[in-house]
Structure 1
Amino acid sequence: MNPETGKTALITGASSGIGQELAKLFAQDGYNLVLVGRSDDKLDRLGEVFKSNYGTQQITVIHKDLAQEDAAQDVYDQIKAKGIIVNVLVNDAGVGLYGLFATDTDWEREKSMIHLNVLSLTQMTKLFLYDMLARNEGKILNLASLLSITPTPLMAVYAGTKAYVYNFTQSLVNELKDTNVTITALLPNATDTDFFNKADAENTKVTDELQDPVMVAKAGYDALMAGKPKIVPGGFKNKSYEVMAYVAPQETLAALMRDKMSQKPDPEEKEASISLAWGIGFGIAVIAGIALTIGYKNTSDFQRARYRYKAKSIGDSLSDTLSSVLNTAVSSVVEAYQTTKEKAQKLADKEQEVQEEVVA
């Protein structure tokens, strides 16, 4: 028998996206479930699916909008009244909002978002953590975001709420280090859920990089069960974003995120920008190629070797750096540069061979 069988996991935001995938994982491992969400029939249908597919013994559905005042307290009171012991708390429920803070976004929606993402999450954590510590047993998973560690123009309030979640969670990691209760922060990149549609951000550039919610949930679940303080799903690429967030200037990060959060260009504008990049790129490539040829011809063998090495290093560095910023357009520019450089080197090598034959 699975040692987790018979334990109970409470999941907010379980009706869709990452929360639903997490609920599936708990059901597969034999957990009883408490599913919390706004009053609709999605959670009821989901509960029936879990009973049918995984044989889940006990599923409790609580219809509650956690963006409302004292909603977390009401959820806790209902759980206590039913005599349910929550072994795992998953604070997944959250919303976003897109637009310029000063002129585009609505305060009532922002206030509701702050209440859901921050106040309810904090109160849910406080209420259930107290009972976990009394038993000296339990786990908590808080949904943060990669945006929690970087400034994010056009989603400033949302990123601010997630920065709170991440900082709050890591502070509790330290407070709980001498207990058998663990808390974990899940920091996913943009994920393929209904989040961006609800946030009015469905046409932003970042939606071209969406990750699989199944993968994100599995990474979060495994980290939670292992008692890790945080997890960034998605492999090396997202890990590199995390490292960059810690070392790069905030102004640079803000500019990068502003671009990612901007609207996708019209196809004609995109084509024009790529054409412009091609034109600039060929100009740079031709000049670089000519300079390389002239410099190569007028140096000693030793200097030529150094020149080859430095040219390769610069080319590789240029390719790595620019391709991550300008993607397709810059990749084209770099390829043009590399092609011109190779042709110039071949030309110089051929001329050297001719000179050596003449001397001989």
Structure 2
Amino acid sequence: MATALVTGGTSGIGAAFARALAARGDDLVLVARDQERLATVAAELVAAHGVAVETLPADLAVHADVVKVAARLEDAARPIDMLVNNAGFGMHNRLLSTDIELHERAIDVMCKAVLVLGGAAGRAMKARGHGWIINVSSVSSWISQGNYSAIKAWVRVYSESLANELYGTGVTVTALCPGWVRTEFHERARIKTESLPSWIWIDPDTLVAEALQDADRGKTISIPTRLWKFLGFLVAKGPLWAMRLVSRKLTKSRD
């Protein structure tokens, strides 16, 4: 029986990971800011699947909280077999915005915390000779749509770099690069989605099922569903001028 630590594990993609992992019998450590919601989700998972669920309240924009989670990952007496670096949020504001605090928080949560937690998990897992690290990036990491794209590009390249460092140790690293996923993510970020066709959306449970399969296979980049594999290929391999044009149109559409 494995134990997985999931950041942002009470909603969206993180909650889908928690459900899927509990359903296959893995024990869980759930990390999120809302202690009450953590307790509710933990109780539901225990009742549904009979697994052990530990809760760890933490704000990953706060360095001391990140250190606390890192210490849990490196606790040799209570080993973590899988880390899912999922915590994050969407961004609607422009790079020219004077709200620098939001940009800084995004970097703290989706870059710095991923770096610290990925390193902690990697060291502990390498010492034991096995483990899985999944870092949630995005297909938008191949386009240039504001700070969110820049952050997710960092997550993707970081994951590939960490995978190189851990190659041959029994520890794999997977960058999960989804497209549009049906969660409350976009509503929270005030991103308009009404004009998007229904066929472009991914169900979070389908996303997670394919991501876990890719992680089990040791794949470094995971783009779930055939549709988004195709679209991901286009944005990753397309000419840069075309990707910049698409990025400008997407950015303008959010005005």
**Residue matched to 1:10:** 5
Give how far 1:218 is off.
1.0
**Pair 1:26–1:190, CA change in 2 (3 A):** same
- Which structure dedicates a bigger proportion of its chain to helix? 1
Is the CA contact 1:204–1:260 (under 8 Å) kept in the aligned structure 2? no
**Residue matched to 2:167:** 177
**Residue matched to 1:202:** 192
DSSP 3-state at the match of 2:55: strand
Is the CA contact 1:191–1:210 (under 8 Å) kept in the aligned structure 2? yes
**Residue matched to 2:28:** 33
**Pair 1:239–1:177, CA change in 2 (3 A):** same
Is the CA contact 1:27–1:50 (under 8 Å) kept in the aligned structure 2? yes
Which aligned segments of 4 or more residues in structure 1 are displaced greater than 4 angstroms? Answer: 78-82, 203-208
Give how far 1:40 is off.
3.4
2:231 to 241, 260, 265: 241
**Residue matched to 2:80:** 86
Is the CA contact 1:18–1:217 (under 8 Å) kept in the aligned structure 2? yes
Q: Please list the CA deviations of residues 76-106 of structure 1 after superposition, one character each: whole Å capped at 9, or x if unmatched.
A: 3356669321011110111121133214x62
Question: How far apart in 1 are the matches of 2:37 and 2:76?
Answer: 22
**Residue matched to 1:63:** 57
**Residue matched to 1:52:** 47
Is the CA contact 2:74–2:123 (under 8 Å) kept in the aligned structure 1? no
Tell whether 2:223 aligns with 1:232.
yes
DSSP 3-state at the match of 2:35: coil
Aligned residues: 254
**Residue matched to 2:154:** 164
Give how far 1:264 is off.
7.4
Once the two structures are aligned, what percentage of the paired residues are identical?
27
Give how far 1:194 is off.
1.4
Please, which moves more after superposition, 180-189 or 90-99?
A: 90-99
2:71 to 70, 73, 77: 77
Give how far 1:220 is off.
0.9
**Please, what TM-score do these two structures have when normalized by structure 1?**
0.66
Question: How far apart in 1 are the matches of 2:85 and 2:254?
Answer: 32
Q: Please list the CA deviations of residues 47-91 of structure 1 after superposition, one character each: whole Å capped at 9, or x if unmatched.
A: 1111111111x2110110111123221113356669321011110
**Residue matched to 2:106:** 113
DSSP 3-state at the match of 1:233: coil
* Unmatched 5+ stretches in structure 2: none
Is the CA contact 1:205–1:261 (under 8 Å) kept in the aligned structure 2? no
Letter in 1 for 2:113: S
* Unmatched 5+ stretches in structure 1: 266-360
**Bigger relative CO (Cα 8 Å, ≥ 6 apart):** 2
**Please, what TM-score do these two structures have when normalized by structure 2?**
0.92
**Residue matched to 1:250:** 240
Q: CA RMSD in A?
A: 2.1
DSSP 3-state at the match of 1:174: helix
Letter in 2 for 1:226: R
Is the CA contact 2:175–2:222 (under 8 Å) kept in the aligned structure 1? yes
**Residue matched to 1:330:** none
Question: How far apart in 2 are the matches of 1:249 and 1:82?
Answer: 47
**Residue matched to 2:137:** 144
Letter in 2 for 1:72: V
